[in-house]
């Protein structure tokens, strides 16, 4: 579901993305716990999606230095950050805009 929410976000379907990320975060908190890196990663993406939803923007409209790169959204070919590194700076930039 995380990957589908990422796809919705990439397609500028921000409402769908936020709704699905909310479900993913709730499920991951229940199964993995709040401190698990996958839970934190989905929570970070939920905040990014909410910021995009509020601003009504697409990734192509964001500066490349501000927007998280696609590798931050895990795919089968790219499992993402193994160390659970967060994107708080990116989130803050989106919120501030």
**Tens of pLDDT, residues 15-37:** 999 999 999 999 999 999 999 99
| Whole-number pLDDT of residue 45 | 95
The model's pTM is 0.60
Q: Is the pLDDT of residue 82 over 60?
A: no
Per-residue pLDDT, averaged over 75-89, amounts to 43
| Whole-number pLDDT of residue 31 | 95
| Whole-number pLDDT of residue 56 | 80
Integer angstrom CA distances of residue 30 from 3, 4, 24, 66: 19, 20, 10, 31
Q: How far apart are CA 14 and CA 28, in angstroms?
A: 20
Domain spans of the chain? Answer: 2-96
Q: Is the pLDDT of residue 59 over 60?
A: no
List all residues 6 or more positions away from 66 whose beta carbon is below 8 Å from its beta carbon.
90, 93, 94
Q: Is the pLDDT of residue 70 over 60?
A: no
The distance of Cα 90 from the centroid of its chain, to the nearest Å, equals 10
């Amino acid at each position: 579901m995380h990957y589908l929410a990422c796809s919705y976000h990439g397609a500028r379907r921000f409402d769908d993305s936020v709704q699905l990320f909310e479900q993913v975060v709730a499920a991951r908190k229940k199964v993995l716990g709040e401190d698990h890196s996958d839970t934190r990663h989905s929570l970070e993406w939920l905040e990014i999606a909410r910021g995009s939803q509020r601003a009504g923007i697409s990734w192509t409209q964001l500066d490349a230095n501000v927007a998280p790169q696609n590798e931050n959204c895990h795919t089968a070919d790219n499992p993402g950050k193994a160390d659970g590194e967060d994107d708080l700076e990116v989130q803050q930039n989106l919120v501030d805009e």
